[in-house]
Chains A and B, each alone.
Chain A
Amino acid sequence: MRDVAIIGVGMTKFGEHWDRSFRELGIEAGFKAIVDAGIESRDVDALYVGNMSGGLFLEQEHVASMISEAVGFTERNLPAVRVEAADASGGVAFQQAVLSVASGIHDTVVVGGAEKMSDLTSIEVTDAIASVADRSWEALFGATLPSLYALMARRHMVEFGTTREQMAQVAVKNHYNGARNPYAQFQREIKLSTVLNATPVAEPLGMFDCAPISDGAAAVVITTMDKAKEMGKDILVRVAGIGLATDTLALARRKTFTSFPATRAAAERAYKMAGVGPKDVDVAEVHDSYTIGEILAIEDLGFFKKGEGGIATEEGRTSLEGEIPVNTSGGLKARGHPLGATGVAQIVELVWQLRGEAEGRQVKDARIGLAHNVGGAGGTVAVTILEVI
């Protein structure tokens, strides 16, 4: 297997882009990544696109061809693949692209992730997002995606004494970080009381426990380590480990409601491939689509013991100055969560951190970064580990 390097990254600002289409967002992110890589369009061999649901959000499937055309790759009839794994689509697309380079099939590949959500009304978005749960056995009975996370949140509170305030602190921390990220949807700090007093969504979770409805795109360029070295890059970011795992589509069919077994499995695979452990990670981007999600993640990834994620957050151990800064970008909560774009945007943030370019939120001497991207309520998890060499 060949070593794979990330040589270029780019993204649009995340937010409500009323005046811009899915195509335009994809073009901006892809263009920025190719320019950042210092290559030409003709150097690219293939395109991977993470997109959760062009069908439900835009009534447009076949988005691989659509984006390939938009970025000019159909001039050379390049291969393009759309990957769907709910809101882990971006993370899984990245890993599939890495496999295509590692295998020797392609040398240089662009991975994009994009979603355009704001063309639907809020309740239509709730319906569309519920399609990542089990339509026949969860959504039909009234379950929304936040309601499934709420069920886990309440179990976590009962089993480990996690408090409402500890969950709220995840949102406060991520807004603090988002206020330092010019690409974030929400660039302002919030108070704990704002989270606690927000409109309820699915108790105990309220509006400020939930990632927003977002439009946006992110892209990265990967190539072989040999090619990256030939290009004379100052800082080489290597894809050290990838791990992918699945679990039951429906939450009720699990054995545990306070952990994502798929996070544990994906992390174990990624750590093993990278030859590192949780203690070696300097900076992490984790899937906080709901605040409880970040608490589950930092436990299941091994940063903290099971049941101690809430208190660790409260003590600031995951803040920018903490022992393991989590979601320096603002996470899904503050950077925004255009579903299929999120997994790729996590990689973009880690690359900025590892290159020392995360101005205003830079983690000192970050050498190893971890991205954790969840589909739905834990049915898919992709964990990727990057390192500077």
Chain B
Amino acid sequence: MPVPRYWRYQDQRYNLAGSRCTVCGTVYFPQRPLCPKCHRKSLGKMERVTLSGEGRIISYTVVHDPLSDYEHLSPYIMALIETPEGATLLGQIVDAEPDEVEIGKEVEMVFRKLREEGKSGTIQYGYKFRLKG
């Protein structure tokens, strides 16, 4: 897979860069060029916003039947994370055993390797989450 496909989203995947519509105030992740609520009124009025990386688990699952990219990590934990900014993210929970994970627990973003493009290809990085405290 050509590098640009991953490179173009680096700011979002490395820094949790989202978009805020300055017309209605809604925060989106990933970024959007237009607000789906405000339509053309939001043209040129979407500003870059960096999510804090803080959040709360609203649901989780332990994946035993993985994608080929993640076979070496199986079983791994995926969770829906509600952020204080208002956007919901999907990501892996790392550095925790499944029985430590609960709905309502607070998490913070960590920067980790996601996958690699074969043995000699690029390595893709991005956000995962770990339990706070």
Residue of A nearest to B73 (CB): A142
A-B contact count (CB 8 A): 98
Known: A140-B126, A142-B70, A143-B90. A202 touches B103 (CB 8 A): no
Closest Cβ of chain A: how far from B2's Cβ, in Å?
14
Is there contact, CB below 8 Å, between A151 and B62? no
Residues of A within 8 A of B65 (CB): 126, 144, 146, 201-202
Of A67-75, A82-90, A251-259, A343-351, the segment with at least 4 beta carbons within 8 Å of chain B is A251-259
Is there contact, CB below 8 Å, between B67 and A252? no
Q: Is A152 at the interface (CB under 8 A from chain B)?
A: yes
Cα distance A112–B66 in the bound complex, in angstroms: 32
Known: A136-B9, A143-B78, A155-B59. A130 touches B67 (CB 8 A): yes
- Residue among B9, B67, B79, B103 with most chain A CB within 10 A: B67
Is there contact, CB below 8 Å, between B61 and A252? no
Cα distance A350–B124 in the bound complex, in angstroms: 47
Is there contact, CB below 8 Å, between A201 and B64? yes
Cα distance A69–B90 in the bound complex, in angstroms: 44
Is there contact, CB below 8 Å, between A123 and B90? no
Q: Is B58 at the interface (CB under 8 A from chain A)?
A: yes
Residues of A within 8 A of B91 (CB): 141
Q: Is A138 at the interface (CB under 8 A from chain B)?
A: yes
- Residue among B61, B91, B126 with most chain A CB within 10 A: B61
Q: Is A13 at the interface (CB under 8 A from chain B)?
A: no
Is there contact, CB below 8 Å, between A127 and B64? no
Q: Is B34 at the interface (CB under 8 A from chain A)?
A: no
Closest Cβ of chain A: how far from B112's Cβ, in Å?
10
Near A by CB (< 8 A), chain B positions 13-71 give: 30, 58-71
Q: Is A139 at the interface (CB under 8 A from chain B)?
A: yes
Q: Is A179 at the interface (CB under 8 A from chain B)?
A: no
Closest Cβ of chain A: how far from B60's Cβ, in Å?
7
Q: Is B131 at the interface (CB under 8 A from chain A)?
A: no
Closest Cβ of chain B: how far from A265's Cβ, in Å?
15
Known: A140-B124, A141-B90, A144-B63. A155 touches B78 (CB 8 A): no
Q: Is A193 at the interface (CB under 8 A from chain B)?
A: no
Is there contact, CB below 8 Å, between B90 and A203? no
Q: Is B80 at the interface (CB under 8 A from chain A)?
A: yes
